[in-house]
Amino acid sequence: MGRSNILIKKMGGILYDIYRETLTIDPDSGADILTYSKVDSVLGWIQPTGTGSSTKGVVLQDSSSGDSVVADFFIFHEKPLQEHDRLQYLGLLLEVRAIEPWKASFMNFYKSYLVKVNNEDISGQEDNL
C-alpha cells in the first residue's frame, strides 16, 4: 500500500468498485449497446464539492459535447481512473467527469470530480451500471 493510500484510509476512505463502459454494435439491428462492467476496485475518499451548509457544486466543461455539468462530489484516490468510469456511493450512481493530479506534502494522488447519473435504475443490474 502506497503512502497515498495510507492517508486516504486515515481520512475514512473505503474500497469502491469501478465500472467502465463498453460499446458494442448489435449485429442484427446495428444499434449501439452500451454496457458497464467491473474493471477494478479503488480505495477512495469521497466528499461533496460544497462546504458546510453550501451545496454549490463545481462547474465542469464536458469536453465531448461542450455542455457544462456540475460535479456534486470529488474522490481522492491513488490509482488512475478514466473519464466516464462509474461507481456507487450512498445509493447514488456517480460518473467521473474530470481528473487532476493532486499533491499533499510528499504524496502524489488523484482528485476526480463526480457527477450524478440521472434517471438510471441500477437495481438488478449486476455488471450493467
**pLDDT tens digits for range 2-60:** 777 787 888 888 999 999 998 999 999 999 998 899 999 999 999 888 755 545 566 66
Q: Please give the mean pLDDT across all residues of the chain.
A: 81
For residue 129, the model assigns a pLDDT of 47
Cell of 40: 477494478
pTM over 0.85: no
Range of 43-47, 102-106, 114-118 with top mean pLDDT: 43-47
Please, what is the end-to-end C-alpha distance for the chain in angstroms? 28
122: exposed, middle or buried (C-beta count within 10 Å: 0-12, 13-18, 19+)?
Answer: middle
| pLDDT confidence band for 72 (50 / 70 / 90) | confident
**What is the rounded average pLDDT of the residues 99-124?**
77
For residue 1, the model assigns a pLDDT of 56
Domain chopping of the chain, boundaries: 3-116
CATH 3.30.300 fits 3-116, yes or no: no
Q: Give me the phi and psi of 67, to 5 degrees please.
A: -80, 150
* DSSP secondary structure letters along 41-72: EEEEEEEESS-TT----EEEE-TTT--EEEE-
- What percent of the chain stands above pLDDT 70? 77
Q: What is the pLDDT of residues 48-64, one digit of tens each?
A: 887 555 455 666 665 56
